[in-house]
């Protein structure tokens, strides 16, 4: 009889690790309290399908490593996203990332790329290798990282030391939020994200939901079960208690839940993180009567990252926030960064209206959202319902030295119980989530699982 693995949480991390285990002969069951996909799912608005959650596909070599372990061809048909990381509307002027030749900031951009270049060959190792100094590959990658970041722990410290012009520095600070933290608190690595990504920004031809389709197909082809609408209420040793009183036992349990939620299911005390929480979001999806006259991606950073940080630390709505605007034909998505307080914000909330008006004004399309045929808003209360305390998308906030690929990972909190997902391998979006699944798969193989 095959050994059985129960996976708690059917987001990208849980589904990826489930497919990897099923490919090695495990009888896999994924338990998901709602719909499979976690933050990545499809929502219908005004007769159009919108992909929620991750909006960009970067570092595709991590995805290719998943496919290699599964022995699968790539079904995603990744297409370069026009404009790369988008046009960043800073208080000091608009900055496209990457900065193209002929732009006044291209010389600075070239200097920035040169500073990050020694790390690029090692990034895949940092994303997919367990953080163990006895591993030569990880040691080399860590040395490359420290060689680039130097003595600077935070993204803000690294950027200040480089003396970039205010416009470029402001645009680069935005990407510290890949870790869900303002640049003063995010690891220095995240100041390098635009350089490491370069122009390799993709989206599947079928939308980001194609990744969910692919993972579900990989699981089904290997006989794994995905049980949607099956909430886990308690964990006692190898046994799960589900809503309705059903119980299930497995030889191995994998949690793709937030660590705080996992602790509660195990009857352990839930300790408030000393650094607070990472950010939540308000996502507004609109079906428009005509294609939006906008580039694929527009980025509006906060006017002041210090004010943004101060607001987030006390759970207040910032005066202006990081806003991402994605336009694709009749589809428009406006993503606002919000504090992780678990509150609901509808489209008529004064703060939401003010941030949308700011985006419309900056992009030269005043009143665009008023023309929408239909809208849908997902707010921190939505993400909190998925198990993230307060809706914190990246879980607990960690000190800069513990962020990214170098922080001590509690991958196995108890015998027979492992963890995966953004709460364990924070930041970096899809590459870190997929890479975290690869790391846990490797650790399980090394321990005979």
pLDDT of residue 409: 66
> Using alpha carbons only, what angle is made at residue 144 by residues 143 and 147, rounded to the nearest 5 degrees?
85
Whole-angstrom distance, CA of residue 35 vs CA of residue 179 = 25
Integer-rounded Cα Rg, in Å, for the chain is 21
Q: Stretch 166-183: mean pLDDT, rounded? A: 92
- What per-residue confidence (pLDDT) applies to 399? 76
Over 80: is that where the pLDDT of 15 sits? yes
Max alpha carbon distance in the chain (Å)? 65
CA distance linking residue 384 with residue 258, whole number of Å: 10
Choose among 418, 434, 438: nearest CA to 23.
438
* Residue 423's pLDDT band (cuts 50, 70, 90): confident
Read off the pLDDT band of 296 (50, 70, 90): very high
Strand ranges (DSSP E) for 14-107? 27-32, 41-45, 48-52, 57-58, 78-80, 86-90, 93-97
Q: What is the mean pLDDT of residues 296-313?
A: 96
Provide the pLDDT confidence category of residue 18 given band limits of 50, 70 and 90.
Answer: very high
* pLDDT for the residue numbered 1: 56
Per-residue pLDDT at 407 exceeds 70: no
**What average pLDDT does this structure show over 131-139?**
91
CA dist 333 and 377 (Å) reads 10
The answer, yes or no, to whether residue 40 has pLDDT greater than 60, is yes
Count CB-CB contacts under 10 A for residue 35: 13
Distance CA 305, CA 317 (A): 13
Enumerate residues 6+ apart whose C-beta is below 8 A from 161. 150, 152
User: Are 149 and 189 within 8 A, CB to CB?
Assistant: yes
Whether pLDDT at 90 is above 80: yes
Q: Span 244-251, mean pLDDT? A: 95
Whether the Cβ atoms of residue 297 and residue 83 lie closer than 8 Å to each other: yes
Spatial CA neighbour of 376 closest among 55, 45, 34:
45
pLDDT of residue 191: 94
- Going by pLDDT thresholds of 50, 70 and 90, the confidence category of residue 111 is very high
Q: How far is CA 356 from CA 46, 204, 383, in A?
A: 19, 27, 20
pLDDT of residue 444: 96
Model confidence band, residue 408 (pLDDT cutoffs 50, 70, 90): low
Least confident stretch, 186-200, 256-270, 322-336, 425-439: 425-439
The whole-angstrom separation of Cα 138 and Cα 148 is 15
Residue 209 confidence (pLDDT): 94
pTM for the structure as a whole: 0.95
pLDDT higher than threshold 80 for residue 421: yes
Backbone angles phi, psi at 102, to 5 degrees: 90, -15
Q: Which CATH number fits domain 4-46+56-77+206-275+398-446: 3.40.50.1370, 3.30.70.60, 3.30.1360.20, 3.50.50.60?
A: 3.50.50.60
- Specify the pLDDT at position 145: 94
Please give the average per-residue pLDDT across 80-107, as a whole number. 96
Among 54-58, 109-113, 303-307, the range scoring the smallest mean pLDDT is 54-58
The tokens for 171 are: 């645009």
Asked if pLDDT for residue 386 goes beyond 70, the answer is yes
Question: pLDDT digits over 252-293, tens only?
Answer: 999 999 888 999 999 998 877 777 888 999 999 999 999 999
Taking each helix axis from N to C end, the angle separating 430-446 and 12-23, rounded to the nearest 10 degrees, works out to: 30
Q: Where are the domains of the chain?
A: 4-46+56-77+206-275+398-446, 106-195, 280-339+345-378
pLDDT at 246: 95
Flag the least confident range among 261-265, 294-298, 352-356, 407-411: 407-411
- Residue 58 pLDDT greater than 70, yes or no: yes
Q: In the chain, what percentage of residues exceed pLDDT 70?
A: 98
What number is the average pLDDT over the span 143-147?
94
Task: For residues 438-445, give the mean pLDDT.
Answer: 96
- What totals of helices (H) and strands (E) does the chain contain, helices first? 14, 20
Pairing of strands 297-300, 323-328: antiparallel
Q: Vertex 84, ends 79 and 87: CA angle to 5°? A: 145
pLDDT mean across residues, the chain? 93
Rounded to whole angstroms, the Cα distance separating 380 from 338 reads 8
Alpha-carbon torsion angle 185, 189, 195, 197, nearest 10 = -100
The SS3 call for residue 412 is: coil
Q: Tell me the pLDDT tens digit for each residue of 389-398.
A: 899 888 888 7
User: What tens digit of pLDDT does each residue of 318-342 get?
Assistant: 999 999 999 999 999 999 999 999 9
pLDDT at 193 over 60: yes
Buried b (16+ CB within 10 A) or exposed e, 106-121: eebbeebbebbeebbe
What is the average pLDDT across 230-245? 94
């Amino acid at each position: 009889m095959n050994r059985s693995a129960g996976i708690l949480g059917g987001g990208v991390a849980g589904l990826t690790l489930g497919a990897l285990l099923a490919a090695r002969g495990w009888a896999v069951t994924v338990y998901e309290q709602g719909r499979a996909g976690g933050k990545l799912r499809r929502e219908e608005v005004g007769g159009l399908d919108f992909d929620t959650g991750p909006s960009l596909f970067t570092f595709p070599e991590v995805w290719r490593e998943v496919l290699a372990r599964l022995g699968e061809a790539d079904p995603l048909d990744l297409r370069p996203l026009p404009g790369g990381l988008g046009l960043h509307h800073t208080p000091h002027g608009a900055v496209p990332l990457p900065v193209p030749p002929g732009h006044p900031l291209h010389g600075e951009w070239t200097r920035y790329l040169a500073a990050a270049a020694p790390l690029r060959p090692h990034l895949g190792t940092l994303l997919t290798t367990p953080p163990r100094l006895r591993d030569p590959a990880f040691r080399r990658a860590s040395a490359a990282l420290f060689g680039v970041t130097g003595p600077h722990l935070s993204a803000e410290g690294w950027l200040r030391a480089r003396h970039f012009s205010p416009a470029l520095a402001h645009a680069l600070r935005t990407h510290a939020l890949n870790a869900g933290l303002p640049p003063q608190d995010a690891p220095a690595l995240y100041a390098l994200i635009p350089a490491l990504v370069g122009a390799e920004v993709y989206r599947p031809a079928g939308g980001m939901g194609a990744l969910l389709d692919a993972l579900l197909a990989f699981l089904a082809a290997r006989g794994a079960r995905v049980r949607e609408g099956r909430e886990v209420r308690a964990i006692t040793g190898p046994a799960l208690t589900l809503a309705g009183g059903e119980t299930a036992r497995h030889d191995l349990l994998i949690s793709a839940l937030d660590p705080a939620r996992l602790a509660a299911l195990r009857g352990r005390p839930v300790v408030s993180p000393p650094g607070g929480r990472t950010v939540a979001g308000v996502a507004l999806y609109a079906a428009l009567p005509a294609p939006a006259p906008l580039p694929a991606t527009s980025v509006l950073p906060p006017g002041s990252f210090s004010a943004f940080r101060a607001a987030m630390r006390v759970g207040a709505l910032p005066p202006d926030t990081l806003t991402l605007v994605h336009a694709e034909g009749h589809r428009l998505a406006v993503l606002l960064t919000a504090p992780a307080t678990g509150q609901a914000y509808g489209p008529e909330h004064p703060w939401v209206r003010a941030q949308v008006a700011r985006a419309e004004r900056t992009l030269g399309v005043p009143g665009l959202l008023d023309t929408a045929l239909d809208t849908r808003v997902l707010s921190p209360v939505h993400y909190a319902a998925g198990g993230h305390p307060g809706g914190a998308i990246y879980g607990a906030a960690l000190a800069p030295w513990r962020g990214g690929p170098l922080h001590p990972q509690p991958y196995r909190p108890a015998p027979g119980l492992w963890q995966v997902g953004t709460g364990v391998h924070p930041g970096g979006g899809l590459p870190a989530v997929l890479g975290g699944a690869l790391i846990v798969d490797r650790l399980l193989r090394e321990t005979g699982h």
